[in-house]
Amino acid sequence: MWLRDDRRRRAARQGSVGSGAGNHGATDQEGEPALHEADATVSPATCLATRRIVPERLDTRRGRPRPKEARGNLIDYEIVLLLDPELPDERQNEIVTRTRELVERGGGTFEGHDVWGRRRLAYEIDHKPEGAYHLLTFSAEPGTLDEISRVLKITEGVIRHLAVKRPKPGPTPTAAPPSDDREPEYPEPAFESGRDE
């Protein structure tokens, strides 16, 4: 209560609101209240919490920037789905169909679906020793892949999923074969044929 009375006294000493040298943040028009109506606790000179708008940060997407993956580019991806082996085949097909619809809705092309079947896991996940594997191949934008991953994380029956970029087809680099005239890097160890006993 005393704080309000103190503010009123200071405002009365400084004159009317909206005029005077002590009015920080006042407007040019008479009758409009100032931003800090005689508030002695905060002055614009001491307020260091100003926010600059940086044009590079106007993008509202979250996550790491992807320099090589510009908007409008379709990138080849593959997703390996590990589904609950106790799911009926109809439910497994629903999950794959939903993923296909997300790809096509995002402007991508769904290229294939390979059923790898039930396989034994290296370790139990959710007390399940086996999983049903599916390989999905498609081309899509990076934003579409983000949406697919988000949906698969919350879909009941998906144990794990892994999305990777497919390598471009072409020759794979191999090392040159060793030549016969070159000395081997690691020479054969010399063993003694006889032993001193």
| pLDDT per position as a tens digit, 57-112 | 555 555 555 555 455 689 999 999 999 999 999 999 999 999 999 999 999 999 99
Under CATH, what is the fold of the domain 75-165? Answer: Alpha-Beta Plaits (3.30.70)
Q: Strand pairing of 158-165 and 128-140? A: unpaired
| In the chain, % of residues over pLDDT 90 | 46
More confident residue, 3 or 20: 3
CB atoms within 10 A of CB 132: 20
By the 8 A CB rule, do 132 and 95 touch?
no
User: In the predicted model, what is the mean pLDDT of residues 114-133?
Assistant: 95
Is pTM beyond 0.75? Reply is no
What is the residue extent of each domain of the chain? 75-165
